[in-house]
Structure formats: structure tokens, C-alpha cells
Amino acid sequence: MKKTARKSSKEGRIINVSSEGHRYPYPEGIRFDKINDQQGYSIFRAYFQSKLANILHANELARRLKEEGADITANSLHPGAIVTNLFRYNSAISGFVNVLGRGVFKNVKQGAATTCYVALHPQVKGVTGEYFWDSNLSKPSRQGQDAAMAKKLWDFSMDLTK
């Protein structure tokens, strides 16, 4: 991407799709010391932890790309509550989404709008390390803005992939 951005003189854009659920992870945010802990596992908190990780990753990546002088931005976003098959393995929630959610939640095209906006809109040129919701800048949780946690997640991930 760096090479393409340089050769084409066009900004590259990386977008991490997150969720407002990032506000409800485990109390410590990312459970670095209990990443595979089955005893304290919560399906919802683990999902929300992963959404927090998406934001932290985008923030740290944005910082690193900016430091390198790369013409690439990295941002995260909440696409909104969308009628999808995300809860296909939880019949109660899936039933709720499919019946009642259709009148309240976004359809797939509406849910893609913020992603398309952040990826393509000229107003977002040069904007990096930000969080978007409904095609607008938004503010993530305190943990979602934690630069130390973002760096720790980056280093933790790098160690896991060695």
C-alpha cells in the first residue's frame, strides 16, 4: 500500500469496522493476561473486546503510518445496527433482529454508508486515527482513545504472530 500510494500520488485509506459495543468490553479493556481464559469468558464482552481492539489497532496504525510519512490513513467506524445474520447461532437474538429489528435497524446498504464515506469521500482526505459513526466524526470510549493500550495491543499481537 505504501508503494502504491507513493507511485500513484493517491492517499491510501485503511478502515477498521468496529462497533459502539466497544464501550462494553471487560473492565480492563483488553484482557492481555487472560486472552484464552475459558473460566471468565463472556461471549458478549469478548465480542466487545474485539471491537475495542479494532479501534485501538486503527489508532496505533495511524500513528505509525504518520510517523513514517506514509500517505495512508487508518480510521475506525461504527456502521450502525444492521439487519445481518451476525446472531445466526443465537436464535433468541436472531429472531428479535429479524422480526422487530427490521423497523429499527439499518439495511445492509445503509450500514455500508459510513464505510464508503470514510473510504472515498474527499472530506476525509488526510484524516487519520479517528472514529466515525453515521458518516460523522465521533468520539470512542476512553479506552478506545488509550494510546498506551493501543501500543500494548500492537506489541502483543506482533509477539503472537512470531
- Residues belonging to the active site: 41
The secondary structure of the chain as a DSSP string is: -HHHHHHHT--EEEEEE--GGGGSSBTTBS-GGGTT-STT--HHHHHHHHHHHHHHHHHHHHHHHHHHT-SEEEEEEE---B-SSTTTT-HHHHHHHHHTGGGTSB-HHHHHHHHHHHHH-GGGTT--S-EEETTEEE---TGGG-HHHHHHHHHHHHHHT-
Burial class, 29, CB count within 10 angstroms (exposed 0-12 / middle 13-18 / buried 19+): buried
For residue 101 the three cell numbers come to 429489528
